[in-house]
Amino acid sequence: MVSDDKIYEALNNVLDETNFEWLGKRIKGKVRDSYVLDNKRVIIVSDRISAFDRVLGTIPFKGQVLNQIAAFWFNKTSDIVDNHVISVPDPNVMIVKECEQLPLEFIVRGYITGVTKTSAWYNYEHGVRNFCGNLLPEGLKKNQKFDKPILTPTTKLEEHDRSISKAEAIADGLIDSETFDKASESCFKLYQKAAEYALTRGLIFVDTKYELGQIDGKIVVSDEVNTPDSSRYWYADTYDELFANGKSQRKIDKEYVREWLAAQGFLGDGEPPVLTEEVKIEAAKRYIKAYEIITGKDFVIDETPVVERVENALKACELV
Protein backbone atom coordinates (compact mmCIF):
# COMPACT_ATOMS: atom_id res chain seq x y z
CA MET A 1 0.00 0.00 0.00
CA VAL A 2 1.27 3.48 -0.87
CA SER A 3 2.13 5.52 2.26
CA ASP A 4 0.49 8.79 3.28
CA ASP A 5 3.89 10.49 2.87
CA LYS A 6 4.14 9.35 -0.76
CA ILE A 7 0.66 10.68 -1.47
CA TYR A 8 1.46 13.97 0.30
CA GLU A 9 4.59 14.36 -1.84
CA ALA A 10 2.43 13.87 -4.95
CA LEU A 11 -0.17 16.53 -4.09
CA ASN A 12 1.46 18.87 -6.60
CA ASN A 13 2.46 16.21 -9.13
CA VAL A 14 -1.01 15.83 -10.55
CA LEU A 15 -2.50 15.90 -14.02
CA ASP A 16 -4.97 18.78 -13.91
CA GLU A 17 -5.29 19.34 -17.64
CA THR A 18 -3.44 18.89 -20.90
CA ASN A 19 -2.81 21.20 -23.80
CA PHE A 20 -1.12 19.09 -26.46
CA GLU A 21 -1.65 21.35 -29.47
CA TRP A 22 0.32 18.93 -31.65
CA LEU A 23 -2.52 16.43 -31.16
CA GLY A 24 -5.12 18.92 -32.35
CA LYS A 25 -8.09 20.47 -30.57
CA ARG A 26 -8.62 19.36 -26.99
CA ILE A 27 -12.10 18.23 -25.91
CA LYS A 28 -12.34 18.77 -22.14
CA GLY A 29 -14.72 16.70 -20.05
CA LYS A 30 -15.19 16.74 -16.30
CA VAL A 31 -12.38 14.24 -15.78
CA ARG A 32 -11.01 13.35 -19.22
CA ASP A 33 -9.24 15.33 -21.92
CA SER A 34 -9.49 13.85 -25.39
CA TYR A 35 -8.17 14.46 -28.88
CA VAL A 36 -9.72 13.07 -32.06
CA LEU A 37 -7.44 11.85 -34.85
CA ASP A 38 -9.34 10.50 -37.86
CA ASN A 39 -11.14 7.39 -36.57
CA LYS A 40 -9.19 7.28 -33.28
CA ARG A 41 -9.56 9.14 -30.03
CA VAL A 42 -6.82 9.75 -27.46
CA ILE A 43 -8.35 9.76 -23.97
CA ILE A 44 -6.20 11.20 -21.20
CA VAL A 45 -7.58 10.57 -17.74
CA SER A 46 -6.71 13.52 -15.52
CA ASP A 47 -6.57 13.64 -11.73
CA ARG A 48 -9.59 15.94 -11.60
CA ILE A 49 -12.41 14.81 -9.36
CA SER A 50 -16.06 15.65 -9.90
CA ALA A 51 -19.14 15.16 -7.75
CA PHE A 52 -22.64 16.55 -7.91
CA ASP A 53 -21.85 17.53 -11.51
CA ARG A 54 -19.04 19.86 -10.41
CA VAL A 55 -15.27 19.65 -10.83
CA LEU A 56 -13.76 20.07 -7.36
CA GLY A 57 -9.97 19.85 -7.74
CA THR A 58 -7.43 17.05 -8.10
CA ILE A 59 -6.59 13.82 -6.27
CA PRO A 60 -3.06 12.35 -6.64
CA PHE A 61 -2.86 9.18 -8.76
CA LYS A 62 -6.61 9.22 -9.42
CA GLY A 63 -6.26 9.31 -13.22
CA GLN A 64 -3.80 6.43 -13.21
CA VAL A 65 -6.09 4.35 -10.97
CA LEU A 66 -9.17 5.01 -13.09
CA ASN A 67 -7.46 4.33 -16.40
CA GLN A 68 -5.79 1.15 -15.21
CA ILE A 69 -8.97 -0.20 -13.59
CA ALA A 70 -10.91 0.62 -16.77
CA ALA A 71 -8.27 -1.18 -18.85
CA PHE A 72 -8.52 -4.19 -16.51
CA TRP A 73 -12.32 -4.34 -16.92
CA PHE A 74 -12.33 -3.68 -20.66
CA ASN A 75 -10.05 -6.67 -21.05
CA LYS A 76 -12.06 -8.83 -18.63
CA THR A 77 -15.43 -8.11 -20.29
CA SER A 78 -14.39 -8.10 -23.95
CA ASP A 79 -15.81 -11.61 -24.36
CA ILE A 80 -19.36 -10.46 -23.53
CA VAL A 81 -19.55 -6.88 -24.85
CA ASP A 82 -17.30 -5.28 -27.46
CA ASN A 83 -15.40 -2.16 -26.43
CA HIS A 84 -13.52 0.66 -28.12
CA VAL A 85 -9.98 0.08 -26.77
CA ILE A 86 -7.01 0.00 -29.15
CA SER A 87 -4.09 0.41 -26.72
CA VAL A 88 -3.00 1.75 -23.31
CA PRO A 89 0.39 3.44 -23.92
CA ASP A 90 0.57 5.14 -20.50
CA PRO A 91 -1.06 4.61 -17.10
CA ASN A 92 -3.21 7.72 -17.72
CA VAL A 93 -3.83 7.22 -21.45
CA MET A 94 -6.10 5.08 -23.58
CA ILE A 95 -6.25 5.13 -27.37
CA VAL A 96 -9.64 4.03 -28.62
CA LYS A 97 -11.75 3.71 -31.72
CA GLU A 98 -13.93 6.73 -32.35
CA CYS A 99 -17.58 5.80 -31.97
CA GLU A 100 -20.98 7.44 -32.04
CA GLN A 101 -21.92 7.91 -28.39
CA LEU A 102 -25.47 7.21 -27.23
CA PRO A 103 -27.00 10.31 -25.58
CA LEU A 104 -27.80 8.48 -22.34
CA GLU A 105 -25.82 7.17 -19.41
CA PHE A 106 -27.03 3.71 -18.39
CA ILE A 107 -26.96 3.16 -14.63
CA VAL A 108 -27.43 -0.37 -13.30
CA ARG A 109 -28.31 -0.60 -9.62
CA GLY A 110 -28.24 -3.76 -7.54
CA TYR A 111 -28.92 -1.91 -4.27
CA ILE A 112 -30.90 1.18 -3.28
CA THR A 113 -28.45 3.79 -2.03
CA GLY A 114 -26.82 7.13 -2.82
CA VAL A 115 -26.91 10.80 -1.81
CA THR A 116 -27.11 12.65 -5.15
CA LYS A 117 -30.40 13.95 -6.55
CA THR A 118 -30.34 11.29 -9.28
CA SER A 119 -29.65 8.42 -6.85
CA ALA A 120 -32.24 5.75 -6.15
CA TRP A 121 -32.28 6.30 -2.38
CA TYR A 122 -32.59 10.10 -2.62
CA ASN A 123 -35.62 9.74 -4.87
CA TYR A 124 -37.16 6.94 -2.82
CA GLU A 125 -36.71 8.93 0.40
CA HIS A 126 -38.53 11.81 -1.28
CA GLY A 127 -41.53 9.65 -2.13
CA VAL A 128 -40.71 8.45 -5.66
CA ARG A 129 -42.00 4.93 -6.26
CA ASN A 130 -41.77 4.86 -10.06
CA PHE A 131 -38.09 5.51 -10.69
CA CYS A 132 -37.15 5.58 -14.36
CA GLY A 133 -39.93 3.12 -15.14
CA ASN A 134 -39.04 0.80 -12.25
CA LEU A 135 -41.88 0.32 -9.75
CA LEU A 136 -40.37 0.25 -6.27
CA PRO A 137 -42.20 -1.41 -3.35
CA GLU A 138 -42.92 0.26 -0.02
CA GLY A 139 -40.71 -0.46 2.96
CA LEU A 140 -37.27 -0.49 1.36
CA LYS A 141 -34.36 0.51 3.56
CA LYS A 142 -31.22 2.35 2.55
CA ASN A 143 -28.55 0.01 1.13
CA GLN A 144 -31.04 -2.84 0.67
CA LYS A 145 -30.50 -5.23 -2.22
CA PHE A 146 -33.08 -5.18 -5.00
CA ASP A 147 -34.72 -8.49 -5.91
CA LYS A 148 -32.98 -8.03 -9.26
CA PRO A 149 -30.86 -5.19 -10.68
CA ILE A 150 -32.68 -2.23 -12.21
CA LEU A 151 -31.71 0.16 -15.02
CA THR A 152 -32.07 3.89 -14.37
CA PRO A 153 -30.78 5.95 -17.33
CA THR A 154 -29.90 9.62 -17.13
CA THR A 155 -29.44 12.25 -19.81
CA LYS A 156 -25.85 13.27 -20.50
CA LEU A 157 -26.03 16.27 -22.84
CA GLU A 158 -27.90 18.59 -20.49
CA GLU A 159 -26.46 20.98 -17.90
CA HIS A 160 -27.49 18.62 -15.10
CA ASP A 161 -28.08 14.89 -15.44
CA ARG A 162 -31.79 14.02 -15.46
CA SER A 163 -33.18 10.61 -14.58
CA ILE A 164 -35.30 9.28 -17.40
CA SER A 165 -37.27 6.17 -18.30
CA LYS A 166 -37.08 4.24 -21.54
CA ALA A 167 -40.48 5.61 -22.60
CA GLU A 168 -39.43 9.19 -21.84
CA ALA A 169 -36.11 8.79 -23.66
CA ILE A 170 -37.90 7.53 -26.76
CA ALA A 171 -40.55 10.24 -26.54
CA ASP A 172 -37.83 12.90 -26.26
CA GLY A 173 -36.21 11.55 -29.42
CA LEU A 174 -33.01 10.60 -27.63
CA ILE A 175 -32.96 6.95 -28.66
CA ASP A 176 -35.09 4.33 -30.45
CA SER A 177 -36.57 1.27 -28.74
CA GLU A 178 -34.33 -1.30 -30.45
CA THR A 179 -31.11 0.53 -29.60
CA PHE A 180 -32.25 1.06 -26.01
CA ASP A 181 -33.00 -2.64 -25.59
CA LYS A 182 -29.62 -3.68 -27.03
CA ALA A 183 -27.87 -1.20 -24.75
CA SER A 184 -29.85 -2.40 -21.75
CA GLU A 185 -28.96 -6.03 -22.45
CA SER A 186 -25.26 -5.16 -22.71
CA CYS A 187 -25.35 -3.23 -19.43
CA PHE A 188 -26.97 -6.04 -17.46
CA LYS A 189 -24.39 -8.49 -18.84
CA LEU A 190 -21.54 -6.19 -17.80
CA TYR A 191 -23.03 -5.66 -14.34
CA GLN A 192 -23.61 -9.37 -13.73
CA LYS A 193 -20.06 -10.31 -14.66
CA ALA A 194 -18.63 -7.55 -12.48
CA ALA A 195 -20.84 -8.51 -9.53
CA GLU A 196 -19.78 -12.15 -9.73
CA TYR A 197 -16.08 -11.29 -9.99
CA ALA A 198 -16.25 -8.67 -7.21
CA LEU A 199 -17.44 -11.29 -4.74
CA THR A 200 -14.28 -13.30 -5.42
CA ARG A 201 -12.35 -10.21 -4.29
CA GLY A 202 -14.47 -9.79 -1.14
CA LEU A 203 -16.50 -6.95 -2.60
CA ILE A 204 -20.12 -6.19 -3.43
CA PHE A 205 -20.59 -4.46 -6.78
CA VAL A 206 -23.37 -2.09 -5.80
CA ASP A 207 -24.15 -0.01 -8.86
CA THR A 208 -22.43 1.47 -11.88
CA LYS A 209 -22.76 3.83 -14.82
CA TYR A 210 -22.09 2.68 -18.36
CA GLU A 211 -21.56 4.82 -21.42
CA LEU A 212 -22.15 3.09 -24.72
CA GLY A 213 -21.58 3.93 -28.34
CA GLN A 214 -21.95 2.40 -31.76
CA ILE A 215 -19.35 1.39 -34.32
CA ASP A 216 -20.82 0.36 -37.66
CA GLY A 217 -24.19 -0.03 -35.96
CA LYS A 218 -22.84 -2.36 -33.24
CA ILE A 219 -23.12 -1.49 -29.54
CA VAL A 220 -19.77 -1.06 -27.75
CA VAL A 221 -18.95 -0.04 -24.20
CA SER A 222 -16.86 3.12 -24.08
CA ASP A 223 -15.40 5.83 -21.86
CA GLU A 224 -14.75 3.82 -18.68
CA VAL A 225 -16.09 0.66 -17.11
CA ASN A 226 -16.59 -0.40 -13.46
CA THR A 227 -14.19 2.21 -12.04
CA PRO A 228 -14.53 3.76 -8.55
CA ASP A 229 -15.69 6.98 -10.25
CA SER A 230 -18.53 5.28 -12.11
CA SER A 231 -19.34 2.54 -9.59
CA ARG A 232 -19.85 1.75 -5.94
CA TYR A 233 -18.06 -1.11 -4.23
CA TRP A 234 -18.79 -2.25 -0.67
CA TYR A 235 -16.95 -4.79 1.48
CA ALA A 236 -18.92 -8.02 1.49
CA ASP A 237 -17.85 -9.34 4.89
CA THR A 238 -19.54 -6.58 6.89
CA TYR A 239 -22.57 -5.87 4.67
CA ASP A 240 -25.15 -7.91 6.60
CA GLU A 241 -24.19 -6.62 10.03
CA LEU A 242 -24.02 -2.98 8.98
CA PHE A 243 -27.28 -3.18 7.04
CA ALA A 244 -29.09 -4.85 9.95
CA ASN A 245 -27.96 -2.02 12.25
CA GLY A 246 -28.79 0.75 9.77
CA LYS A 247 -25.17 1.84 9.51
CA SER A 248 -23.21 3.08 6.52
CA GLN A 249 -21.41 0.48 4.46
CA ARG A 250 -17.62 0.23 4.24
CA LYS A 251 -16.77 1.41 0.76
CA ILE A 252 -13.88 1.98 -1.65
CA ASP A 253 -15.31 4.52 -4.09
CA LYS A 254 -15.64 8.28 -4.40
CA GLU A 255 -18.77 8.24 -2.24
CA TYR A 256 -16.34 9.26 0.52
CA VAL A 257 -15.84 12.62 -1.20
CA ARG A 258 -19.58 13.02 -1.91
CA GLU A 259 -20.41 12.36 1.73
CA TRP A 260 -17.73 14.82 2.92
CA LEU A 261 -19.21 17.47 0.63
CA ALA A 262 -22.74 16.68 1.83
CA ALA A 263 -21.55 17.02 5.45
CA GLN A 264 -20.35 20.52 4.56
CA GLY A 265 -23.85 21.29 3.25
CA PHE A 266 -22.96 21.05 -0.45
CA LEU A 267 -25.23 19.02 -2.72
CA GLY A 268 -24.43 20.70 -6.02
CA ASP A 269 -25.77 24.22 -5.59
CA GLY A 270 -23.66 27.27 -4.81
CA GLU A 271 -19.90 27.37 -4.31
CA PRO A 272 -18.39 23.98 -3.41
CA PRO A 273 -16.09 23.76 -0.38
CA VAL A 274 -12.36 23.45 -1.07
CA LEU A 275 -11.05 19.91 -0.63
CA THR A 276 -8.56 19.80 2.23
CA GLU A 277 -5.20 18.04 2.00
CA GLU A 278 -6.53 15.43 4.43
CA VAL A 279 -9.53 14.71 2.20
CA LYS A 280 -7.33 14.50 -0.90
CA ILE A 281 -4.90 12.08 0.78
CA GLU A 282 -7.70 9.88 2.14
CA ALA A 283 -9.44 9.86 -1.25
CA ALA A 284 -6.16 8.91 -2.98
CA LYS A 285 -5.62 6.05 -0.51
CA ARG A 286 -9.10 4.75 -1.25
CA TYR A 287 -8.58 4.94 -5.01
CA ILE A 288 -5.27 3.09 -4.76
CA LYS A 289 -6.76 0.48 -2.44
CA ALA A 290 -9.61 0.01 -4.90
CA TYR A 291 -7.11 -0.68 -7.67
CA GLU A 292 -5.19 -3.21 -5.62
CA ILE A 293 -8.26 -5.07 -4.34
CA ILE A 294 -10.08 -5.14 -7.68
CA THR A 295 -7.13 -6.12 -9.85
CA GLY A 296 -5.11 -8.10 -7.32
CA LYS A 297 -1.99 -6.15 -8.36
CA ASP A 298 0.30 -3.76 -6.48
CA PHE A 299 -0.06 -0.12 -7.45
CA VAL A 300 3.11 1.15 -9.14
CA ILE A 301 4.19 4.78 -8.79
CA ASP A 302 6.28 6.55 -11.43
CA GLU A 303 7.69 9.74 -9.89
CA THR A 304 8.25 11.38 -13.29
CA PRO A 305 6.11 14.54 -13.61
CA VAL A 306 2.81 13.20 -14.89
CA VAL A 307 2.35 15.67 -17.75
CA GLU A 308 5.88 15.00 -19.03
CA ARG A 309 5.41 11.23 -18.81
CA VAL A 310 2.09 11.33 -20.64
CA GLU A 311 3.41 13.56 -23.41
CA ASN A 312 6.47 11.36 -23.94
CA ALA A 313 4.30 8.23 -24.15
CA LEU A 314 2.01 9.82 -26.73
CA LYS A 315 4.88 11.10 -28.86
CA ALA A 316 6.35 7.59 -28.86
CA CYS A 317 3.07 6.37 -30.41
CA GLU A 318 3.72 8.55 -33.48
CA LEU A 319 0.05 9.46 -33.73
CA VAL A 320 0.69 12.50 -35.93
Residue 124: partners with Cβ closer than 8 Å, 6 or more residues away: 112, 131, 136, 140
In the chain, the N- to C-terminal Cα span, in Å, equals 38
The answer to whether domain 4-316 has CATH 1.10.1740.10 is no
Per-residue pLDDT of the chain (320 residues; tens, 9 = 90+): 788 888 989 999 999 999 999 999 999 998 999 999 989 999 999 999 998 888 999 999 999 999 999 999 999 999 999 999 999 999 999 999 999 999 999 999 999 998 778 899 999 999 999 999 999 999 999 999 999 999 999 998 777 788 999 999 999 999 999 999 999 999 999 999 999 999 999 999 999 999 999 999 999 999 899 998 899 999 999 999 999 999 999 988 777 898 899 999 998 889 999 999 999 999 999 999 999 999 999 999 998 999 999 999 999 998 86
Tell me the residue type at 111.
Answer: Y
CA distance 115 to 90: 34
CA distance 300 to 281: 17
φ, ψ at 263 (rounded to 5°): -65, -25
Query: What is residue 38's predicted lDDT score, i.e. its pLDDT?
Result: 86
Q: Where are the domains of the chain?
A: 4-316
Strands 85-90 and 93-97: antiparallel
Q: What is the pTM of this model?
A: 0.91
CA distance 207 to 73: 15
CA distance 88 to 72: 11
* 273-303 as b/e: b if 16+ CB within 10 A: eebeeebbbbbbbbbbbbbbbbbeeebebee
List, as one string, the DSSP characters of 4-46: HHHHHHTTTS-------GGG---EE-SSEEEEEETTEEEEEE-
Query: What is residue 258's predicted lDDT score, i.e. its pLDDT?
Result: 86
